[in-house]
Structure formats: C-alpha cells, structure tokens
Amino acid sequence: MDQMVDRYPSRILPTPTIVDRLDPIVWGESKQDGAPLAPADIESFKRNGYLAFARFFTPEEVGRLTAALATAWHAAGRSDGDMIVREPDSDIVRSVFAIHESDAVFRDLLHDPRLAGIAAQLLGSPVYIHQSRINYKTGFRGKEFYWHSDFETWHTEDGMPRMRAISISIALSDNHAVNGPLMLIPGSHKHYVTCVGATPEDHFRESLRRQAIGTPDDGSLRWLVEQGGIDAPTGPAGSIVLFDCNTMHGSNGNITPYPRSNIFAVYNSVENALVQPFGGTPPRPDFIASRKVTPIA
Amino acid sequence: MDQMVDRYPSRILPTPTIVDRLDPIVWGESKQDGAPLAPADIESFKRNGYLAFARFFTPEEVGRLTAALATAWHAAGRSDGDMIVREPDSDIVRSVFAIHESDAVFRDLLHDPRLAGIAAQLLGSPVYIHQSRINYKTGFRGKEFYWHSDFETWHTEDGMPRMRAISISIALSDNHAVNGPLMLIPGSHKHYVTCVGATPEDHFRESLRRQAIGTPDDGSLRWLVEQGGIDAPTGPAGSIVLFDCNTMHGSNGNITPYPRSNIFAVYNSVENALVQPFGGTPPRPDFIASRKVTPIA
C-alpha cells in the first residue's frame, strides 16, 4: 500500500506537543440489533476512553483460560522463540505474543462475539486481530509498565493510519489495588501527545522489555491527569477492561505476593489496515502488528 | 552497656525461619487519664499491628508542616551531608534524617503529646525519639520500598533489644491507592521472620537507598499475607499511620504524577535503649539510630 498523509506525526519535533484527536471515538453510532454495548456504555466510552466490566467471564470460563495460560506459559519458558518477551532484569517470561495463532482456546476466545462484537460496534466495521498476547506480572518483583498511548507506537512503528482500534484486557488473576493493576487516564483518548526522540532500528526488542522511546513527557502527563485523574479498575479474575487505542495507560510495579496475569487483544477496523510505518523504520514483525487482515466472521 | 541475650537472632541461619514474637504488643494495659487511644483502638492495634487515622492534623497544621518540609528539602538538595539519602538511580533526595534536631517545627511536632502520648500509652513507659526523617517519593519515577520489618534491622544493626517501639508516618501529600502508598500486612507483628545473609560493613549507606540484606524471603511473605492480607490506608494530607516496630510493610513504585511525602518518627521505650548491635557490626550513626535516651516530657 502506498504511503498516506501522516495525521499524527510523532518523534520528530524537539519538544513534546499535545494536539487534538482527529478521528471519531465511536465510529458506529447506531446500535445494531444484538450489539453488545448499551447506549450508556457508549456514552461512557466516548467520555472516558475505556469501559470496565467486572465478572465478564464465568468462573468456569476463567478456569479453562487459566489452564490454557499455564500450559502456554510453561512452553514459553522452555522456548527461545521471538514471540516471547522476558523481564528486563531476569529470564522470567513477561509476555507471549500471537496466542490466537498458536492455541485453539485463545483463538476461540478472541473470536467470541462478546469481545469481537464490542469492537465491531465501537469501530463501525468488521474487525481483525491486530495483536494478541498473554501478560504475566510476577509477584514480589513485578516491574512497572510506564505510561503510553498504544496508538503513538502503532502509528509510528507499525503504520496504523487512524485511531480506530480497541484493546481488551481479560484479567486471569484478581486485580487488587495493591498488585499493580492497569491504570488509565480518563479523557486522555481525546488528546494526542507527541513524543520526542527518533526510533532506533530494531527498537521493539528492547522496548517490549523496558520502554524508553515513545513515552510521554512529565508535563503532558501531569496535564492529562489534571483533566481526568487516574482510574485503576479492580475486580476478580474474569473481569475485563476495554480501551481506545489512544487512551493513556500504564501500571506500577508489584512487590506483593499476588501475581497478575491477563490476556490482551487488539481489534483493528478492517478499514484501518497497516501501511508503511509513519516513523520511517521497517515494519515490526507480524506477531506484534499483524499485516494480514482476516475479518472475524 | 554490656551485651545481653539475643532474643531475636537473624542473618545467621542458612535458611529463613518464622518464630513467635516474644514480647508484648501493648506494654501499658491500663488506660491512663488523658491517654489518647480508646480501648477499641488498643484492641485493633493488638490484632493488626497498626492504626490509621485519616485527617489527624488540621489543614492549617498541614500547611505549616508542608512549608517546613519544602524548606528542609531545598536545603538538602544543596547539601552533601550524611543525613541525606538519594534515589538509587539519581541524585534526587529521598530522605532527610534527624529532622527533630535540625528544625524547630519538626521538633515541636514530634514532641506533641498527641503523637508521643500514643507511643507512651502503647509502650507503657516514657519514650524518646529513636529516629526521625522526612521521606519524599517522587512522581513518575518513584521506586519501591521492599517489604521489611524495621525491628529486624534495628535489632541486628542497631542493638534494639526488644519489640517495644512505635513508628508514626504523617502524610504531607494525599495518599491515593495509585501513588505507592504504605502497605502493611495485618497480624505480621506477631511473627518474627529471620533473614538470610551476613551484614556487610557500612551496609547502611547502600541499604537506605536499595535494601538487599535484611529483607524477608518470598515464602515467609506469602505465608504472612495468607494469614492477614494486605492493607494500604489512604487519606488526605494530615492523615497518620502508626505501626509496631515488627509490622511487615513496604510500598510499590509510583509512576503517577502524584508525589508522596511524609514525616516519619520512631518512638522507643526508655526501657529499651540500644545496646551493641546483635549482628556484631559496629553501631550505625546516631542520626539513624539514636544512642542518646532523652525522654519526652
């Protein structure tokens, strides 16, 4: 596909800027028959940039997913595949990518109309899986994930043209206030924070372990938090949080004995397929940012 | 003073152990006239090992203390004194010690009968200030404080004979769930977790920045949390938490823009004055562990 106009340039200017979002937040305004989200959910999503649903999956479903996670985890520990990311200071597995391609349980989960249907409803089109992974934040020595907008990276390093993707995080352990839960800045999805610093070659190998380039500056974060505060949804295993691709989020470290694991999936609109990365670097591998558009039926 | 029997040996055995506390939790059973704590407070302290009081100080008092903290902070930034501890990865000031000796506002605060009176009531004797400091956990890049029992260190490295000291933390910024608040393990004060590893010479210079020796093992922590869970009291500036010297506590890092600052004071019973360190190393400096017993009137 040819290069197109860069609506969201980043990592170019010597100082950070905050610009308005140029895209709709919800692309499909009308509630179709059978669309999962109610009008109040849609309004909340427009305002805050995310939705949290406690106990979205039943304990039985959680049990089945947890077993699949454990199996994938142990296999990853013995593998040296590219799709496995380890902690910055140890060999402990932190993430395994492209799980919908390697495991039928996860594939079925991410094709479930309860999840893919929400994404299609918000994005106003059929969707495909842009990325999937399992994340595991160990107890005692779990490291923080610094604040970031996924879109900033996906646009710059992967060539995602517009803000038209939804991430869903499915908790497979209880999220307490104390074990480093996902934090989101309500309303941050309405603003685009450009970052400073050019992207190094093969940046992703390091950035998945410890992010440095593509992180927002202190002043912009402070401004966003003054606007919207910080929310950290908690809930038992089986709860989900879904958020806009431009919602600023992160998580603190975790010294508690409670580990934290989740399944993370990104649904992109089929009308928002990747082009050449806007930052000028070669595209990242397919398991991080799929260049195959396979609509979910 | 001569060496005495070591009731709580630690850093000797090759594996960690959990033994029972050998000392009372509350040393003064009878409520004296004017003693600050009510019987229900005393029972809660016995059971949990800590008490939290939101809005203990008025906004006016908080304003005065905050101004004194800012002054002390800026002075510390320009000083290379021993009493100043910096972040492990930067020169940002993390703590300033012995503030009751250097600043009249803090001296008056820590002699206030509302604080010293609580300590005297729980410890059943007059008290003196074993240690005082201001702590500052920066926003965005605040590092964690790993789990520890203060008593384990004070006994081994400072020669505190028995569990008969009370710590009080006075919040001078709002403690949210998300900005790395103090976490405590309820009931942990009833157990003594011995640690593994000999104490290096001059250990304190490193340990105040990043603790390694004198930290409990994963198995013991998991056991304590299974017994009591984890509590993280929140509240506005002016709230206080007071806890037994053996209560296991720590705090997660802080990537939020909200900094966290507090005043921290330890009251020890005049009947529990320091002797030679039980770990056999030379005593740490007086600003960390006072060897002068000056009872508070």
Q: How far is B192 from chain A (nearest CA, A)?
A: 18
Alpha-carbon distances of B262 from B76, B172, B230, rounded to whole Å? 15, 5, 21
Cβ neighbours of B146 in A, within 8 Å:
255
Predicted pLDDT at A80 = 81
SS3 B135: strand
Burial (CB count <10 Å: 0-12, 13-18, 19+), residue A198: exposed
Residue B239 to residues A131, B38, B190: CA-CA distances in angstroms? 44, 18, 25
A71-108 burial, b for 16+ CB within 10 Å, e for fewer? ebeeebeeeeeebbbebeeeeebbbbbbbbebbebbee
Averaged confidence pLDDT in chain A: 91
Mutate to test the interface with B, among A218, A256, A258 (most CBs of B within 10 A): A256
Kindly list the residues from chain A whose CB atom is less than 8 angstroms away from the CB atom of residue B211.
Answer: none
Closest by Cβ to B177, choosing from A177, A225, A255: A177
pLDDT level of residue A33 (50, 70, 90 thresholds): low
User: How many Cβ atoms sit within 10 Å of the Cβ of residue B92?
Assistant: 14
Return the pLDDT at B1: 46
B222: closest CA of chain A, how far (Å): 6
Kindly state the percentage of chain A with pLDDT values over 90: 74
Which residues does A contribute to its contact with B (CB < 8 Å)? 139-140, 144, 146-147, 176-178, 180, 183, 218, 221-222, 225, 230, 232, 250-258
- CB spacing of B232 vs A256 below 8 angstroms: no
Which of A101-105, B12-16, B24-28, B59-63 is predicted with the least confidence, judged by mean pLDDT?
B12-16
Pick from A186, A219, A226: nearest CA to A17? A219
Q: How confident is the model at residue A1 (pLDDT cuts 50, 70, 90)?
A: very low
Beta carbons of B230 and B187 less than 8 angstroms apart:
no
pLDDT at B31: 58
Contact call for A140 and B221, based on CB within 8 A: yes
Phi, psi at B84, each rounded to 5°: -110, 125
In this predicted structure, what is the pLDDT of residue A178?
A: 95
Summarised one tens digit per residue, pLDDT across range B226-264 is 999 999 999 999 999 999 999 999 999 999 999 999 999
pLDDT tens digits, one per residue of B130-156: 999 999 888 998 888 999 999 999 999
pLDDT of residue B204: 66
Largest CA distance in chain B: 52
d(CA B192, CA A155): 53
HSE, CB side, 13 Å, CA atoms: give it for residue A236.
8
Q: How do residues B103-119 score in pLDDT, each as one tens digit?
A: 999 999 999 999 999 99
Q: What is the pLDDT of residues B188-227, one digit of tens each?
A: 999 999 988 877 766 666 666 555 667 899 999 999 999 9
Q: Which two tokens stand for residue A165?
A: 């993707």
Mean pLDDT confidence for B64-84 = 89
Q: Report chain B residues whose CB lies below 8 A from the CB of A140.
A: 218, 221
The mean pLDDT value for A51-62 works out to 97
Instruction: Decide: helix, strand or coil at residue B289.
Output: coil
Alpha helices in A10-58 (DSSP H): 39-48
Confidence (pLDDT) at A177: 95
Comparing A36-45, A72-81, A148-157, B279-288, the range with the smallest average pLDDT is A72-81
Does residue A211 carry a pLDDT above 60? no
Which two tokens mark A193? 């924070």
Q: What is the pLDDT of residue A297?
A: 79
Residues 6 or more apart from A184 whose CB is under 8 A from it?
A48, A49, A50, A230, A231, A232, A233, A241, A243, A247, A248, A249
Size of interface A-B (CB pairs under 8 A): 63
For residue B182, give the H/E element and its range: none
Measured between CA atoms, how close is B120 to chain A, in angstroms? Answer: 32
The pLDDT score that the predictor gives to residue B229 is: 98
A 10 A CB-CB count for B118 gives 23
ipTM over 0.95: no
Dump pLDDT digits (tens) for A139-164: 998 888 999 999 999 999 999 999 99
Q: Kindly list the residues from chain A whose CB atom is less than 8 angstroms away from the CB atom of residue B225.
A: 256-258
**Mean of the per-residue pLDDT values of chain B:** 91
Handedness of CA B184, B186, B192, B196 (dihedral sign): negative
Write down the pLDDT at residue A90. Answer: 80
Percent of chain B with pLDDT over 70: 93
Could you read off the pLDDT of A214-249 as tens digits, one per residue? Answer: 789 999 999 999 999 999 999 999 999 999 999 999
How close A220 gets to chain B, by Cα (Å)? 10
The alpha carbon of residue B87 is apart from the nearest alpha carbon of chain A, in Å, by 16
Give the DSSP letter of residue B204: H
Task: Give the list of residues 6+ apart from residue A172 with CB closer than 8 angstroms, or none.
Answer: A62, A65, A66, A69, A237, A238, A261, A262, A263
- pLDDT tens per residue, range A64-101: 999 999 999 888 888 888 889 887 778 888 899 999 99
Chain A residue nearest residue B145, CA to CA: A255
Alpha helices per DSSP H over chain B: 39-48, 59-77, 99-102, 104-111, 113-123, 150-153, 203-207, 218-228
**Predicted pLDDT of residue A206:** 64
Q: Where are the beta strands (DSSP E) in B232-276?
A: 240-244, 249-251, 260-269
Of residues B93 and B244, more confidently modeled? B244
Q: Which residues neighbour B271 within 8 Å (Cβ) at sequence distance 6 or greater? A: B125, B164
